[in-house]
Chain A
Amino acid sequence: MLHGFELFSDIFVLRDNVLLRLDARVKLIAVLGICTTVILSTRVYLPLAMLALCVAAMLALGLPLRLIAVRLAMPLAMAGVLIVLRAFLMGTTPLFTLRLFGWNLTAMREGLMDGAVLASRVLGSVSALILFSVVTPAHKVFAALRWFRLPKTWVETAMLMYRYIFALLDHTTDVFAAQRARLGYAGLRRSLSSMGTLAGAVLVHSMEQADRTHEAMVARGYTGDWPHARLGALQGRQVAILAACLALLTAACFVIERWA
């Protein structure tokens, strides 16, 4: 089953809310600030507080829990792997021992703590990015990135990738359904073969799509440079909101790291 909708759908950026109305540049700096603070934190409290805050904000904005869970599934899996690897490979103080296929695996306290910090950093920063993605339409993110003077090629490639994720996802879903309707996924061997064919078909389709899109761009005057309207300067109110966000973040960081 393909979970394209849960992973990529951006219908939530169409819902009006206070975060959506904020300038994308303000949100971008704020989310980068959160990620930096979370990554630099030495204990789990601040990252976990950010995770809780972001999940609560998403729920308050009306995002279904299932969608949040699907989007957090990948970072959660990574967090699990980090905790397990660190716990069994690092540290000196034994916590417990597992016997697996004749091997004794001992989890260490220091490794577990270190793994928990790393895992909390992953979850805290990814949840902030997910919140950012559901309150900021992609085209505004691209406009903000251009305003921050990120390399043009990078932003344009990201724009095309974003546009064609959905077109290729539709194609993938169609091919998958066609394979499934002819028992392409009955049994492990057939499934593996069908998956390979699906990947090949999507790759070929994406290359053909690229050719046709390039022709369409050339037919509208494209010569290798994609012109855009530039955003104006940030308004005073938006700057004040950004300053308040960063001050709050610093205060939270100070309080949690010092007293937690």
Chain B
Amino acid sequence: MSAEKQPPAVEAEGVSFTYEEGTVALRDVAFRVESGEFVALLASNGSGKSTLIKALVKLLVPQQGAIRINGRDLKGYSAKELYQQVGLVLQDPNDQLFAPTVNDDVAFGPRNLGLGEAVVEDRVTTALSWVGAEALRERAIHHLSFGEKKRVCLAGVLAMQPSILMLDEPTAGLDPAGEAQMLHLLNRLNRERGITIILATHSVDLLPLFADRIYVLSRGSVLMEGTPAVIFTNHDMVAHASLRLPYISRLIHELRHFDGVPIEGLPLTVGEARQRLVELIPPDLIVRTITEKRP
């Protein structure tokens, strides 16, 4: 007996959207994300990724095309049904944190679902623990740092227990450590809790570590779709989309191209690049001495 095939978590066909003042933001966009996937929408500024995210959660209604969430047409969803399935995290945490305290803000969604106070408390505790922000619970929003605000935003959405999470530039404005922390957190939510992640970003360096697939958008259209390895080996397309390779890939590419270093393939992460470089060094030149100091 074969298991019934699960419908895609998010599916968009022929989606076009033009703002009232005439800016064409999306042109015939086709987009498909399977349940449990980690997908990135990679695009430069003004390419329509935020518009697409808003269209996917019904904050904007496209003039053409169809969007389905978990196999069901978006038009058929009531707000309450939709936002229990899809969580949206906006780019600027100040847009999203509107209650006086962290506790009130994270509890906002569950209370809107009409849950009892005990369940709301439980959801707030769980969501804050997922993002490592339990200690911030009684803090006023304006006393939080930018990184803390970002995590509390995420907790506010996770408290709705959505199966799909859409994030608009979740790492924008974060320092390198904060950026890595946020992506690790999203990766954990994806791998351990099975939450489908769709994130819009133009930050390319950390994506190969986390994203299963990448959609590249340019001027409102999907230029290409594929795994990070497929996307970043198409240099012309990456340049056309006003993007760049991850720095480590660019270094390897230039070593091969300008210096003739015989490196195979294009490593996308520091770990892969290290492996390839080590392979080129004669074994007798490698000093394999690791001194471990313990207090």
Contact = CB atoms under 8 A, between A and B. Distances in A.
Contacts of A163: 97-100, 141-142
B26 interface: no
A47 B98 CA distance: 37
A153 interface: no
B156 A220 contact: yes
A223 B83 CA distance: 12
A160 B98 CA distance: 6
A187 interface: no
B140 A219 contact: no
B83 to A, nearest CB: 5
A221 interface: yes
Contacts of B157: 219-220
A221 B143 contact: no
Contact of A162 (B97, B100, B112): B100
Which of A138, A212, A222, A227 is packed against the most chain B CB atoms within 10 Å?
A227
A6 interface: no
Contacts of B97: 163
Nearest to B159: A220
Nearest to A211: B95
Interface residues of B, number: 36
A213 B112 contact: no
A82 B98 CA distance: 39
Contacts of A159: 99-100
Tell me if B's interface is mostly helix, strand, loop or mixed.
helix
A257 interface: no
A115 to B, nearest CB: 38
B209 interface: no
Nearest to B107: A229
B59 interface: yes
Contact of A139 (B57, B90, B101, B111): B101
Given A159-B99, A163-B141, A167-B94, A223 B104 contact: no
Interface string A83-96: 00000000000000
Given A167-B94, A213-B95, A218 B79 contact: yes
Interface string B91-117: 010111111110010011101111001
A252 B199 CA distance: 63
B90 A212 contact: yes
A227 B99 contact: no
Given A139-B100, A139-B104, A212-B95, 16 more contacts: A10-B140, A14-B143, A137-B101, A138-B140, A159-B100, A163-B98, A209-B94, A216-B95, A217-B98, A218-B79, A220-B109, A221-B79, A221-B84, A223-B80, A227-B112, A227-B114
